[in-house]
Structure 1
């Protein structure tokens, strides 16, 4: 049986970035990536809308804020070096009523504290100079926000790993991890692999992988499906770039918004609907195991008691296109049902503590021979190289 220095479980963008940054520091290491699917970036990485986040929303000093700022610059440098297309097009965060103004101002101040330059607060006339069809009483203009295809980025990460003799095996679903006498052994349904250290970057399955070595986890992942519509081609003129609402600070999602993609299509959404399958992308996707894990978690009961009205509203929008359109019309009144066609969907892993707290920041659990990336929500794709660098530092700390 071949042995490795580092095994990374999961070939989403964070796992791949970890491989890139680890081999960048020491190209002689033997690194193996194990992926349960037949290709990379099949879940959260490949089903997001491709936004390069500026870091404006995140609490100053948090891991999200630090990694987003650093990762943003690392990502753009990587893309410039490898000729990956992106567009720093900017975005608007739109206040549509007076109650949203204080929250919008707080977001603006956070952006300043996080080091963003040239942020501007716009009036309604200035809003329409940037987005002629948008309607708001004020907005924050964020010039740093951009768009990209993260699947393309992930493919280039893998190419870099392979150039440095890193390996990847597909269709390898990890079922156990054991650490004995300084050796970490990863068991899949078909094989076992030895390594000096194992890193799990397993997204929607991260709590299950972490539980293999840490039986009494204090959190569980709750899956939320985000569904999109797209603007018909003859309606693309309604949106020039990115238009976001002022988010509800008590809810961990940004609200339905408009995103121009790097291929110039325009996505509208997403909502945030409780999913009954962690990797289920349709309204009818169901997993008994995943549903039991959600509904038996004490923290979930607390969250639902607090947010049940919002949750019901999200379900209603999921099944009622007219209701979805009404949410979009708050930002662009000219939007009509006829302008929209069905888009795709993604599932977000929301980490929830047993007391009902929703973990908003990145979370790592580390022990001898293993590092678990337990929570890596947005802006993990933007921050992937920074997160990968952080994980690689943890790896080398153990290897040394």
Structure 2
């Protein structure tokens, strides 16, 4: 019996564990999550959008897995009785100068096989009467869901299948076994960017009776033997990789995304999803308006550097995390190239008036009095040593190990397909 250990109880880790128990009956599967609840970080703090796959480079992992993942996620939610709403998304060019960017985005969406349409201001207002724009793109397949409910369903399914989902258990170290847990045979999954190196699948050989495990995972609640190790630790994925003897090709840098919400009496300003044309230099989509599955309307997020990998406010700072940021050349190279962008994000973070002004570009009736703070999320963004933002999923395979080192949005949308992609090449 092969012992699989998945580190991380977010949506990607849970989906991967579920795919293992589905595809490999009889496997022994353990999920280790340091928080007392599942989906506590990136999964539980996102905007709940099931993305259609508009933004991603054709042929990339994000493009392929997002489009398939949106269908898989809607099917899964229907099977599990989880509410969803296919509401469509309006991506708007506020000024005429933004129209070429909108057209380029339309071409990319078409290359990804999506049924999108460019529309004029009058038709845009048929979808969103309060919007202001010079032109827009209508994306019908976009939907919304509560991804925490998806995590809860995956947790129930894992328990029913006999998997062990251990919450409140933190990984403190990893010791290689006799088969080796280093980077022998390691490769970068094809379709990733900014990491370099050859690609190659993990070894196909399974453990034999009586052999030692490929690794022993040390935790705050005892040791866990692993014949196959899957790292889906999100904000801490690069550190887990190092514990396992793998030198990650990029560093996780945390960016806090702060949200506001429209006051209940102003929710009628937004019917569905309203997004700006994004800056193609960055993986962030810009401040936007989202009607959530519960009917509330969230606005955001911005993107500011966090001084704690779980830094959901300016007040939360971790010495180790801040030192890692201060001493990482890749971050300094990124900052030098995009100082003005970063300064604008900080200003918007500190000023509700500036935040509201960004929303008013899309919906002019929104004022600072119409919004109130609504929490924040932290994005685990991988940055290469040369300062490049890794804009695709980054999955590193080693000797009986897999490390998911960059899985920000649209990872929640794509999670079931990411899991399928990972498990297809896992040793048995």
Cα distance per residue 1:255-281 (max 9 Å; x no partner): 100000000000011110110111021
Structural mapping, 1:17-56, within 5 Å? 17-56=15-54
Which residue number in structure 2 is paired with residue 129 of structure 1?
126
Q: Secondary structure in 2 aligned to 1:381?
A: helix
Of 146, 151, 154, the match for 1:154: 151
Confirm or deny that 1:392 pairs with 2:392. Answer: no
Greater Cα offset, 271-280 or 210-219 = 210-219
Of 216, 219, 241, the match for 1:188: 219
Cα distance per residue 1:40-95 (max 9 Å; x no partner): 00000000010000001000000001111111111111111111100000010000
Of 252, 261, 266, the match for 1:235: 266
CA distance in 2, matches of 1:325, 1:73: 34
Structure 1 residues 58 and 192: alpha-carbon distance in aligned structure 2, compared to 1, 3 A threshold: same
CA-based RMSD of the aligned residues comes to 1.1
Of 300, 325, 337, the match for 2:356: 325
Would you say the 8 A contact 2:282–2:389 is kept in 1? no
Would you say the 8 A contact 2:258–2:303 is kept in 1? yes
Q: Secondary structure in 1 aligned to 2:413?
A: coil
Would you say the 8 A contact 1:178–1:213 is kept in 2? yes
CA distance in 1, matches of 2:290, 2:247: 40
Cα distance per residue 1:176-222 (max 9 Å; x no partner): 22222132210113311112111010000011011123453331111
Which residue number in structure 1 is paired with residue 89 of structure 2?
91
Cα distance per residue 1:267-297 (max 9 Å; x no partner): 0111101101110211211001111111110
Which residue number in structure 1 is paired with residue 196 of structure 2?
none
* TM-score for both structures, normalised by structure 1: 0.97
Which residue number in structure 1 is paired with residue 325 of structure 2?
294
Q: Secondary structure in 1 aligned to 2:382?
A: strand
CA distance in 1, matches of 2:117, 2:101: 15
- Residue ranges of structure 1 left out of the alignment (5+ in a row): none
Deviation at 1:123, TM superposition (A): 0.6
Number of residue equivalences: 394
CA distance in 2, matches of 1:256, 1:14: 25
- Residue ranges of structure 2 left out of the alignment (5+ in a row): 180-212
Which residue number in structure 2 is paired with residue 79 of structure 1?
77
Cα distance per residue 1:87-125 (max 9 Å; x no partner): 0000100001122111111111111111112x1111111
Greater Cα offset, 181-190 or 347-356 = 181-190
Q: Secondary structure in 1 aligned to 2:67?
A: helix
CA distance in 1, matches of 2:392, 2:150: 23
Structure 1 segments of 4+ aligned residues over 6 angstroms from their partners = none
Would you say the 8 A contact 1:179–1:369 is kept in 2? no
Which residue number in structure 2 is paired with residue 104 of structure 1?
102
